[in-house]
Copies of this chain bind each other. A is one copy, B any other.
C-alpha cells in the first residue's frame, strides 16, 4: 500500500502502433512507470503534469504517447503496476508460514512503515491518493481502484480466516469484515502518516486494531 518502485510493470496490454516484435515492457516504458509511481504516490494525480514525468524519466514525449493514450491511460497503467508490485509485498508477508497469522499482518505493517520511512513518509499509497481524487478522475478509475482494494482485502480475509481457525482472533466478526475494516483504516493511516511525516499513525492503527481483534495466547 505504501509507495515504491515496482520490479516490473503490469498492465501490458497491446497498444496501437507498437512495432510487431518490439518488447512491450521496454526500458522507456519502465522508466515512465517508475517516475510516475514516484511522483503520484507523493503528490497525487492532478498536481503532477506529464512534462514533469517525462523530465524525471528522461524520456521524450513521443515515447510517452507510443505507450499511453494520455494521462488517464498512464494513470491506469500505474495502478496496475502498483498493484502487481504491492501484491508481491502482501503475499511475501501473508504466506510466510514461519510466523503465526496475526504476526504476518504485523510484519506486513512494519515493512510498509519501513518503505514509507525510506522516503521520509512523503510517499503514500497510489490507490489511496487516486481514491481521494476520484471526484475529478475519469470514471474508469473507480472500478480499477475498487478491484485492487477488494483483492488486497480478500488476501487479508484468508489470513484472518487462518487466525480464526487457530483461535487467535475474536470469533464474533467475519474475517472478510475485519479485513475490510483493516484496509479502510490502513489507508487512513497512510494518509495521516503522509500528512504528519511520521510513522505514528501507522503504528497507532496497526497496534490498536491488532490488539482489539487478538485473543492472547495462554497455552500455545
Interface residues of A (CB under 8 A from B): 42-44, 46-48, 122-124, 128-129, 131-136, 142, 145-146, 149, 170, 172-173, 177-178, 180-181, 183-189, 191-192, 194-197, 201, 204-205, 208-209, 211-213
Q: List 7 A-B contacts (CB under 8 A).
A: A44-B133, A48-B136, A128-B188, A131-B192, A133-B133, A181-B204, A188-B188
Contact residues in B for A43 (Cβ distance below 8 Å): 133, 135-136
Beyond contacts A122-B135, A184-B185, A185-B185: 8 other A-B pairs, Cβ-Cβ < 8 A, are A47-B135, A48-B136, A131-B191, A146-B195, A173-B208, A180-B204, A181-B209, A184-B201
Contact residues in B for A48 (Cβ distance below 8 Å): 136
Q: Is the CB of B192 within 8 A of A189?
A: no
Given A131-B191, A186-B188, A195-B146, A47 contacting B136 (CB threshold 8 A): yes
Q: Is the CB of A192 within 8 A of B149?
A: yes
Contact residues in B for A134 (Cβ distance below 8 Å): 194-195
Which of B46, B133, B146 is A196 in contact with, Cβ under 8 Å?
B146
Name the residue among A170, A184, A208 with the largest chain B CB count within 10 angstroms: A184
